[in-house]
């Protein structure tokens, strides 16, 4: 597990994806604009972020599909996203604004080439 505060190459994500076939679990901190990657469970990444001072309300679970492009590269699906206190009732990310923020952070942190 590691927290990306700089950039990560798509090739590194491809290497990590071997664990699940073609997917990398990640947690995006929309407050600090960091991404935690490379664990079996989103909750492990969430715990790592919390240990590093993240706020729970800013953490969102996603999946990367390094072999795909465009909107298919990121999937909004994690048990940690079920958050009635923030009006997020699904495993997805219900707020279009939060989805946009996550995509902006991913674009900033993941080098596609």
Q: Which two tokens stand for residue 24?
A: 């990398």
What is the enclosing helix (H) or strand (E) of 55? none
The domain of 92 spans 2-111
Least confident of 14-23, 40-49, 53-62, 85-94: 14-23
pLDDT at 113 over 80: no
Share above pLDDT 70 across residues of the chain, in percent, rounded to a whole number: 99
pLDDT digits (tens, 9 = 90+) for 99-110: 999 999 999 999
**What span, in angstroms and rounded, lies between the C-alpha atoms of 70 and 109?**
15
Predicted pLDDT of residue 112: 83
Query: What is the total count of domains within the chain?
Result: 1
């Amino acid at each position: 597990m590691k927290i990306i505060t700089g950039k990560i190459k798509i090739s590194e994500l491809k290497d990590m994806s071997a664990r699940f076939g073609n997917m990398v679990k990640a947690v995006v901190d929309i407050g600090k604009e960091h991404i935690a990657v490379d664990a079996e469970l989103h909750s492990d990444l969430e715990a790592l972020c919390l240990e590093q001072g993240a706020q729970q309300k800013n953490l969102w679970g996603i999946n990367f599909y390094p072999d795909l492009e465009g909107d298919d590269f990121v999937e909004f699906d994690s048990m940690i996203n079920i958050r009635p206190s923030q009006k997020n009732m699904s495993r997805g990310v219900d707020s279009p604004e939060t989805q946009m923020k996550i995509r902006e952070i991913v674009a900033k942190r993941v080098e596609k080439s």
